[in-house]
Structure 1
Amino acid sequence: MPIATHASPHVVEEEIKRSRFITYVAHTPSIASAKAFVEHIKHIHSDARHNCWAFNAGAPNSTMLLGCSDDGEPSGTAGRPMLAQLCGSDVGEITAVCARYFGGTKLGTGGLVKAYGGGVKLALSKLETKVKIPMTAVSFECSYQDQNIVDALLNETEHEKLNTTFNSTIIMDTHIESASVAQILDQIKNATQGRVMGKVKD
């Protein structure tokens, strides 16, 4: 899943018929972080006429974690065009906020849609992204004689070791690529003849 490279926002500014549109986009991995980012930009631009926003806090094609606001602009002219750009970008976990400083000339509904949607489109075109691989927390308890088998099979898939505890047995806490969890659990179970059973954590 492509996401923004880091949480620091990317900013673009346009002047349209003397109104200033300052658009911020940033990586926000949850609804809470998306709302916090919106409030942060609204605080920075507390003197703006409008601070319109949109977010998709999930995967690029998800429709479960969305939100938007026109913040006083005519209904449907700001938040929805901004959200449409986010949802069509193939980038997930992202929020856009656009501060508008009114320049005295009304743009009409079509002009507003173009301005707000266009600002997000421009910001996204300059945004650096990276691929986020969904991971699942899995714990393994094994004997010392089975450690090499478990390690070897884990090394065949995308994973991250979080913590390893050595006592009478070895407990490995890991993150494993979600798409590979079922396969790796079966492989380890079979290779150790059922001695090692991975436990998926909530």
Structure 2
Amino acid sequence: MSQDNAFQVPAGNISIEQEIKRSRFITSIGRAPDKQQAIAFIGRIRSTYPDANHHCWAYVAGNPFDTVQIGMSDDGEPQGTAGKPMLSILQHRKIGEIVVVVTRYFGGIKLGTGGLVRAYSSSVQMALQTLPLAEFVALAAAQITLPYPYEDRIRRLLEKMQVTIKDVTYQDCAVLLVEFPVTMGIELERQLGDQTKGEAQYILIGN
């Protein structure tokens, strides 16, 4: 992954609350690698607060530089006062795989369109200040086929390089299904060739 496309993702779920002119604003944030998981998270928040007046939401499912999997909703608030400013904050922060829901319990005092934009924006900003984040690491998968005499040596190599062995099958040779950071692929292939005198077969999966 290039430095220009580096981004962060939520390292956990959080929920915080603030009160503005008697209205309660509860902000819930979770991780959403895809649209389906974002929608599922929104549904869980609705179930948690079934008597709330509004559940406004926004999500950036996947890479924040890819606008294909984004979504937002004002959920009954005046158009453009909730979902859009919430989404804008997420995109400005370049946070990916994230979904945020701001649940509102109306307190009887109208905030006006400007007040609503400020309320929903500040709710998201406050939550992001406490949200634990992690650097996104793109993973690749490969199949490694090697003669049995090299298996122990290659297992030690993979452990040293922190490559995860997902599955092993034994046929005429040992066949290992592995997973590793994309940026490690070239070095892994080189090391396999050196350690097995070119006898290991290395095939990327899904490429």
Q: State the TM-score, normalizing by the size of structure 2.
A: 0.85
Equivalent residue for 2:4?
none
Give the match for residue 119 of structure 2: 115
Give the Cα–Cα distance (whole angstroms) in 1 for the partners of residues 175 and 111 of structure 2.
Answer: 63
Q: Is the 8 A contact 1:137 1:174 kept in 2?
A: yes
The reply on whether 1:131 has 2:135 as its aligned counterpart is yes
- Cα pair 2:148 2:173 within 8 Å, conserved: yes
Whole-angstrom CA distance in 1 between matches of 2:114 and 2:183: 43
Q: What pairs with 1:44-59 in structure 2 (closer than 5 Å)?
A: 44-59=48-63
**Alpha carbon RMSD of aligned pairs, Å?**
2.1
Unaligned runs of at least 5 residues, structure 2: 1-6
User: TM-score, normalized by length of structure 1?
Assistant: 0.87
SS of aligned partner of 1:91: coil
Unaligned stretches of 5+ in structure 1?
A: none
Native 8 Å contact 2:22 2:107 kept in 1: yes
Residue 118 of structure 1: how far off its partner (Å): 0.9
Deviations 1:92-137 (A, max 9, x none): 2111001111122221221111111110111111111233321111
**Richer in helix (by share):** 2
Question: Corresponding residue for 2:84?
Answer: 80
The answer (yes or no) to whether the contact 1:54–1:67 under 8 Å persists in 2 is yes
Written as runs of structure 1 = structure 2, the 5 A alignment for 1:1-202 is: 1-6=7-12, 9-147=13-151, 150-151=154-155, 154-155=158-159, 157-189=161-193, 192-202=196-206
Partner letter of residue 15 of structure 2?
Answer: V
How far has the Cα of 1:189 moved from its partner?
Answer: 4.1
| Contact 1:158/1:177 (<8 A) preserved | no
Alignment partner of 2:93: what SS? Answer: coil
